[in-house]
Each structure stands twice: as structure tokens, then as C-alpha cells.
Structure 1
């Protein structure tokens, strides 16, 4: 049985699928395609230095319109991509183009993947954990489907923490002004801000300082070699993204099972 919050979340991302897909299409056509592939491949190769991508199984948890799934499948990785919203999976399949058949797309709640234990060499995610109703349990479930010695790789940010912090609110508003002054696309205009803020106020990680929380959670799972990188956004984001999200820099957290 799903919760009311899960259904609200699912509806929001279902409604946003077309506009979010457009963002992924722009990433696939821009510098982000090579930036992200270089970053993710570097992390994977540090764990599996003697294995080819074709020998590495990857779970893209909460694939959305499929950006990670597409660039990793194109690079040769064996990718399984899951999402709870059928509309997102439909967009992901379209965005995959010639790589669609190489990706195992599945309709599945990324919080509760139903694969057998120790199924994947890598579990990765982007912009997902912050909006989950039980992120701690989700980390535990990802740990469950990860092979011993496998890599957990999560990219996220302290999205919507400005709802609890007046200084961050001012920084967020300055981002909006900077976007306008530079005559750039404001990425927040493609969202239903009221709906997103309402969801953010209900989920547990809004207002929590991360990645400190993630480190503690992964330590409880006895994961090893936990590392964080709070400057990863400088290497993967486009100039437009850096201006849009200056007050909400993306971080990376990596850990070994």
C-alpha cells in the first residue's frame, strides 16, 4: 500500500515529466553529457579498475527522463533504470533513442527496489533522496541490492532548505535575479513552485544539512570508504545551471558495501 505523500509525489513528477524531459534533452545535447559521464565513470573505475563497462551492472534509481541511463548505456554499462512514474519512463525511453533496447526499463518505486539481494555492482541516483518520505530506509534497500564491494553513488543537493532558512531564502531570490539579469532560462519557471514547496515541507530531509546526514546514515549500514565531494557541481553543471542553482550546490556521496 502506498502512502498519501507517495501519491502526491508521483502525481507531481508525472505532471512535470514533459518539462523535466526537456531539461534532460538539453543535458544530452550539451556539455553535461560528457561532464557527467566522465565523473561517474571515474568513480566506477576507481572501484572496478580492471573491468570493462560491459561487465558492470548499474541500477539507476529514480531515472526520471533517463539522463544517467542513456549516457551510461551508450558507454557500454549494463543499465537497469527504474522509476515509479509511468510518464517518466515513457520520456526516458524516448530520450534513449537507439539505446532503448540496451536499457532494462522497469516501473518500480526507487525507494523499494524489488530485485534480489546483491544484484548490482553500482547503484546510483540524482536529485531523488531529498524528496523521499523515508530516505534512511531507501539507503538500506539500495544497500540490500548492491553486491559486496559494490559502489553506491548519490548526487543531490539541499533543495528547498530556503523554506527554513532566511539567509538561504535571500540567496535563492538572488539566484532568480541573476538569471534574469543574464537573460537566461529560469529553471524554476518549469516547476509548480507551490506544489513543490508543499511537498518539500512534508519530507524529512528538507532543512537537514547534507551530506552530513548521509554520512551518518551510511555509517549505520556499515558501508566503507565513504567520501563526499561538495564541489562536484563545478565539474558537471553548465554555466546556466551554475547561475540558476548557485545557492543550492550539488554534492556527491560515494560509499562501498
Structure 2
């Protein structure tokens, strides 16, 4: 294990409880169904009960839960043990139908061609080896399997003055519009230190992702940079107005 990977693991171990509370909010609100419908629209055209899906970096289990509810056969992995504990607790009785496993997103332990779909959210940006991760996600997909990667240019404000101004404006707007500031109560200094060390912080995305995916062999690669407007809550959109979420998809 590299020192950086260990730092990332420690950070998300500390964040597990708070991130789980955020996911619980999603599970109790309208985002639960908005997310599910958006994801189902991208999956292979086959009965949901026949789809084997890998949720990479499941965190507290939001995707795993809402997709297992739909009848999909879900395997959910995360590098952080505490996140998996939160995921199992959030899933309740449904956890018996979800295969939770501790695993590195960049070094998956599954055979080639295992899954019909791979899905991930807010994971790629803080990986030490994101190209290797994309290669692994491609490897474990079946022929015609699909990748759905939801992410954003998190912490790019560290190397972009305009985005720094946008980030600071986002913090002001959370107070002006009386919504929770997701950055409060987190170790911002530690996350910024980690973000400065990972490669994607300085790279403008999703153009980079599409290029890498095509180089690896993904077909029909595309990005959706308005997906946040359809899915995210008002609080989410205000918190990340300067760094909106995007979706990149591709087929094997």
C-alpha cells in the first residue's frame, strides 16, 4: 500500500459517519427515485434481475441499495472498512442481497467479463492511479457492458484562480440561501493536501475521461454535463455550483 493510498483510506474512514448521514438524507428524499431512474435508463436492455452490477467505491451504500431494491444483482466494493460497515447498516435486511467486499477500485479482484455494468460516483477524482482504474473497470465488464461514472472537478480550485473564486462564492451562497455547507465539519486542510497529491486535480474533466476511455477501448463514449440539474437536490447544486457533477458513459 502506498503512503498516499493509506492517507486516502484514513481520511474516508474519518468521514464515514458524516458521509453516511448524507446518504441517509438521499435515501429518505426524492433523490432516491431520481437517481434510480437516471441509472436504470443507462443500463443494458435486459431484465433487471439478470443484470450483474458492480458499484465501485460504494461508500455508505446509496447506489447499491437503490439498485438492489430494483432487483439488480449488486456487488459493492469500497477500500474503507468503516464505509462498508455504514453501507451494511443503511441497507438493513437488503444487505443480505448485496455482496459487499473491501477492495481497491484500482486493483479489482474479479475475473474478466464479470459484470453487465460498473457504476461509480465521486471516486475517480481522488484516485492515485485513475487510468489503471478505468482499465480495471473495462476488464471486468462483459461484452456490451456499460460504465457509468458520476464525478466532478473536485478541488480543482487549488490550481485555478477562477474556480477558487467560484468555490468561495459557493460557500457564501450556502449561508445566504440557508442550506447546509457540506464542507463544514470536514478536515478541509487534509483533503486539500490529498487532492494536491492526486493527478486529476490539475486536469480539466470530463474531456480527459473520454480520451482515456477511448484509448482503453470503450465504445460510444459520451459525457453529460447537465445531469446535476436533473438529479441533485437544491442544496447539492448550491454547494457545488462552481464544480457541477458530470456523467461519463461507455460500452465495452
* Post-superposition offset of 1:52: 1.3
- Listed one character per residue, the Cα deviations across residues 108-160 of structure 1 (whole Å, up to 9, x for unaligned) are 11111100110000011000000000000110011111101100110000000
Counterpart position of 1:61: 56
Partner of 1:18: 17
How far apart, in 2, do the equivalents of 1:184 and 1:39 lie? 25
Residue 79 of structure 2 corresponds to which residue in structure 1? 84
Give TM-score, length-normalised by structure 1: 0.97
- The equivalent of 1:122 in structure 2 is 117
Deviation at 1:83, TM superposition (A): 0.6
Q: Provide the secondary structure at the position in 2 that maps to 1:189.
A: coil
Task: Report the equivalent of 2:42.
Answer: 43
- How do 1:1-257 residues align onto structure 2 when only pairs under 5 Å count? 2-44=1-43, 47-48=44-45, 51-257=46-252
Distance 1:187 1:30 in 2: 17
How many pairs does the alignment contain? Answer: 252
- The one-character-per-residue Cα deviations of 1:4-36 (angstroms, maximum 9, x if unpaired) are 000000000001100000000001011210111
RMSD: 0.7
Distance in 1 separating the partners of 2:212 and 2:185: 32
What's the TM-score, normalizing by structure 2? 0.99
C-alpha separation in 2, matches of 1:122 and 1:173: 37
Q: How far 1:198 sits from its partner (Å)?
A: 0.3
Unaligned runs of 5+ in 2: none
Shift of 1:190: 3.4
Secondary structure in 2 matching 1:188:
coil
Q: In structure 2, what is the Cα distance between the partners aligned to 1:238 and 1:251?
A: 15
Q: Distance in 1 between matches of 2:148 and 2:245?
A: 13
- DSSP 3-state at the match of 1:36: helix
Q: Deviations over 1:184-222 (max 9, x none)?
A: 111011321000000000000002110000011011112
Q: d(CA) in 2 for partners of 1:190 and 1:105?
A: 28
Secondary structure at the aligned position of 2:200 is classed as coil
User: 1:98 deviation in Å?
Assistant: 2.3
Aligned counterparts of 1:209 and 1:247: Cα–Cα separation in 2: 13
Write the distance in 1 (CA, Å) between the matches of 2:110 and 2:217: 21
